[in-house]
Each structure stands twice: as C-alpha cells, then as structure tokens.
Amino acid sequence: MSIPSLSRSYVLSSGSPSHEEARLSSPLHTVARVLLIATLLGAPWAFGSVQPWAWGTLVVLSCLIVVLWAAGCAHQGVLRIGWSPLYWPFIGLLILAAVQYFGGLTVDAVATREALLKLFTNFALFFLAGQLFSPRPENGSALEWLGLAVTVLAFALCIAGLWQMFWGQEHVVLGSYAAHGTPFGPYVNHNDYAGIMEMLLPISAAYLLSRSWNPLLLLLFWCGLGLGIISVWMSGSRGATIVLLIEGLLWAGILLWSRPRGVSAGVFVVLFGVVLVSAVTFSWLVSTGRVGGRAWSVFEGNRSLEVTLGDRLKVSLDTLRMARSHPWSGVGVGGFESVFPNYMSFPMDWHWPHAHDDLVEAVAETGLPGAVMMAVAFFLFVGVAFRHIQSRLRRSWGWLQMGATVGAVGLLCHSLVDFNLRIPANAAWFVVCLAVATHLRSTQDSRRTKVRDFSADPSRELLT
C-alpha cells in the first residue's frame, strides 16, 4: 500500500505507544510552537531584522526551537516528520551555498558566510513551520492560532505606519530612530513594509472568511483589514499596489473556480466592500491633506520615491551579464554587492547592495545549478499549493493554506522589482507561507502512516 501523497508522515517509535497516544502533541512542542510564533511576530519590529544583532537573534532562536521540537519528539517517543516536496530544492540550495563557501568558489567569503547562515535559518523556519503548524491531528488548532496572530500583527504594523504619517514622523522609525529614505512603521524602507503586508493581509482575509463569529466582531476585524490595505497605499509602494490587485484577482479566481461549499455571493460583496471603503477613505485622507504627500505618489507614474523602473531594468540587465560571466557556480550567495560595480553599465550615484530583482540576483549568485533548483521549487510549489482546493476549503485550515499561498505568490511577484527576500523578517514569513501552503493533510480521516516499532522486531515494519 502506498502512502497518500498529500501528507507523508514518517514515524519512528522508540517505545510501544498506541496509535492514539502517538497522535498527542508533547508539551515541549507547545513551547516550541509558542516561541516560533513569538519569533515571527517580533522579527518585523526589529527594523525587519536587517541589523546583525536582529538576524543573529533569528539564527539563535531558530536553532533553539529545533532543539525544543527534537526534545518534544524524544519526550513523546515518536519522531514524526511532515513532508513537503520543497525540501529537496531547499536542501540543494543549502548544499550549493556550502560548496561555494568551503570550496572557495565565492568572490566574497564573508558575505557568503552571512548568506549561508541566513539560508540555514530560513530552512529551519520552513521545517519548523511545517512540523508545528501543519493541519495534522497532533497539532490541533495551531494553524488557526497562527491565523489570529497574523491578523493581530498586520493590524499592529499598519497602526504603527499610519501613526508615523499622521503625526508627521515620515523620516523616523518607531518614533525614535531617524532614517534616510522612506521608512514606514518599523521598517527603514516603505517597500519592505509593503512586502510583509502582502503576505499578512491574504492570510488575515482567509482567517476572517473561515470564522463564524458575531457579526459585529467580524465587522471590527474587517475594518482592521481595511486599515492594512490603506497603510500599503499610504506607504507609497506602487509595486505593492499592483501586487494587492493581483492577490485580489487570485482570491476571486480561486473562489469562482472552486466554489467551496457554504460560500455565497455575499463573500464577494464583503471583499469588494472592504476594498471600496478602503479606497474611498484613502482618497479622502489624501485630498484633505491629512497625510504626507508621498501617499498619492503610488498612483503617479511619473514620480518615484527612489529609483525608477527604468533604472531597475538596467540593473537587472547588468546582473544578467554578471550571470553569463559566471554560469556554473555563480559569484557566490551574498556576493552581488561586491561584484556588481564591475558590471554596472550606466553612471549613477546610487549604491546598489541588491539588484531590485531577487530572481536575477539569485541566478547571478548561484549560477545555472541554482536557477534549475529555483525553477523546480516554483513548479513544485504551484503543483502542491493549488492541489485539491475545493476539498481543502471545506475546512478552516484549508482557507489559511490558501491565504498563505496567495501571500507567497504576491511576494514572488513583488520580488521581480524589489529585494524583499533579502530582508530577514520578510524572508522568514515567506518560508512560513511556503510551509503552510505545501505541508498538506489528506482529506481522508484515516491516513496510512509508516511506523517502525523498535520495541518489537527491529526489522519489522508495520502499516497502521
């Protein structure tokens, strides 16, 4: 008998617990889950975790949570690993980065070491989210709690950003740290703030659509979601405005195509109403001069708060020339900043730490092997995340998986013109979205799980 492909779970048992006992979660897993949520909630507030102390803390906390998860498995007497097909390309990228660093195939060993640590941290967070938030019975309602945490975080971030604009603190981060450029909320750049909201808002919408609360309470939460949309427009990020449109169309397409049971036309009325009220409120705030002038720039194609789209395209083309010069091993992960000045074909005073296109920058840094692994990862993600949508939307956790899928697609689209995946906090939330979207659960109530019982004959495999 084969194991269902939607949810493969390998269980190694050192004792002889019953099947029901093996499904119970260890208290240490609960501690690990709480710490993981706290880490994800705190990462954006540390300026997006871009400073060494912040992303270094992410490295330490991710390792600690892995230890807690492993200790929970030992306490439970069962090692159960939920599987995602994205493990293979993720592990492949890790191996490639390690070969670049230890094999001396990078132009900047220090930058590659830092990038390797961040890549390892993202893999650890991806793995942990898959184990602790997947809709397996032993995780209980963990995914629903994550949805609530995401909704609260999105509201808190938008309040911080709106407070910053209403009180004329457009160049101050968190009310105390002056920053050059265009900070918004706890982020030193408005596009980075927009990137995190592109992932949080679809999950928040999915969480609210799956709830059957008191109508007044739901109305308050929908108002909070509307404020989040307004804050993205207020930030002045044109890329995020386009991404929100793409995410809205994707949500509409999913609902129209799958036609989940219990979803009526009223859902579309609610979603359209939230967007419409948000747009009217935003227009009123801007027209009355109650907010900074940069907010309206989101709809002004001839105005740019930073570099123009044309400059970004030029950098992307120069980055592709860099990739052609290093086709097999790339320049090394994290090595873009050191090498790019040699390939820059136009004069400009801007310093380019990143290419404003995560895809071409990753190809230049990892070469053809990395490009192949990223292409494989994308097709695996699409193939798994959009599988059996109708059956999954019959359950609340299925809605949250769709929200995570839409959020991941949105950030991938924005990454074509920006470098949100190079912001540690945004990268952490992105891999969590990937984990939630691709660690699926079989629609059958009884799943076949391969169990090895070492208390009996070690060579014997049971199928339960």
Model pLDDT, residue 63: 97
Average pLDDT value over all residues in the chain: 83
Q: Is residue 285 part of a domain?
A: yes
Q: Is residue 169 part of a domain?
A: yes
Q: In the predicted model, what is the mean pLDDT of residues 54-80?
A: 94
Lowest mean pLDDT among 126-130, 372-376, 384-388, 442-446: 442-446
Select the highest-mean-pLDDT range: 74-78, 227-231, 254-258: 227-231
Q: Which two tokens stand for residue 455?
A: 């208390």
* φ and ψ at residue 343, rounded to 5 degrees: -115, 0
Q: In the predicted model, what is the mean pLDDT of residues 351-365?
A: 91
- The residue with greater pLDDT, 310 or 150, is 150
Model pLDDT, residue 19: 46
pLDDT in tens, 402-423: 999 999 999 999 999 999 999 9
Helix (H, G, I), strand (E, B) or coil at 10: strand
3-class SS shares of the chain: helix, strand, coil, % to 5: 65, 5, 30
Q: Is residue 3 part of a domain?
A: no
Assess contact for 36 and 129: CB atoms under 8 A: yes
Model pLDDT, residue 151: 96
Assess contact for 138 and 78: CB atoms under 8 A: no
Select the highest-mean-pLDDT range: 32-41, 76-85, 162-171, 327-336: 32-41
Which of 146, 259, 243, 149 lies closest to 193 in space, CA to CA? Answer: 243
pTM for the model:
0.88
Check whether 356 has a pLDDT greater than 80: yes
Which sign, positive or negative, has the C-alpha torsion 391, 393, 395, 399? positive
Assess contact for 162 and 234: CB atoms under 8 A: yes
Q: Is residue 145 part of a domain?
A: yes
Q: Is residue 4 part of a domain?
A: no
Check whether 461 has a pLDDT greater than 50: no
Q: Is residue 2 part of a domain?
A: no
Model pLDDT, residue 295: 63
Q: In the predicted model, what is the mean pLDDT of residues 18-27?
A: 58
Check whether 388 has a pLDDT greater than 90: no
Helix (H, G, I), strand (E, B) or coil at 456: coil
Range of the domain at 65: 9-463
Check whether 431 has a pLDDT greater than 70: yes
Domain count, the chain: 1
Q: In the predicted model, what is the mean pLDDT of residues 314-330?
A: 91
Which of 110, 129, 126, 128 lies closest to 52 in space, CA to CA? Answer: 110
Quick one: pLDDT band at residue 41, thresholds 50, 70, 90? Answer: very high
State how far the Cα of 354 lies from the Cα of 416, in Å rounded to an integer: 12
Q: In the predicted model, what is the mean pLDDT of residues 224-238?
A: 90
Model pLDDT, residue 291: 62
Contacting residues for 65 by C-beta, under 8 A, at least 6 apart: 32, 35, 36, 39, 124, 128
Q: Which residue is listed with tokens 């900047």?
A: 108
Alpha carbon dihedral 131, 133, 135, 138, in 10-degree steps, equals: 60
Q: Is residue 282 part of a domain?
A: yes
* φ and ψ at residue 346, rounded to 5 degrees: -140, 145
State how far the Cα of 193 lies from the Cα of 305, in Å rounded to an integer: 15
Measured CA distances, 206 to 274, 398, 418, 446 (Å): 14, 9, 26, 26
Q: Is residue 141 part of a domain?
A: yes
* φ and ψ at residue 393, rounded to 5 degrees: -75, 5
Model pLDDT, residue 282: 84
Helix (H, G, I), strand (E, B) or coil at 16: coil
Assess contact for 192 and 48: CB atoms under 8 A: yes
State how far the Cα of 373 lies from the Cα of 183, in Å rounded to an integer: 34
State how far the Cα of 319 lies from the Cα of 225, in Å rounded to an integer: 38
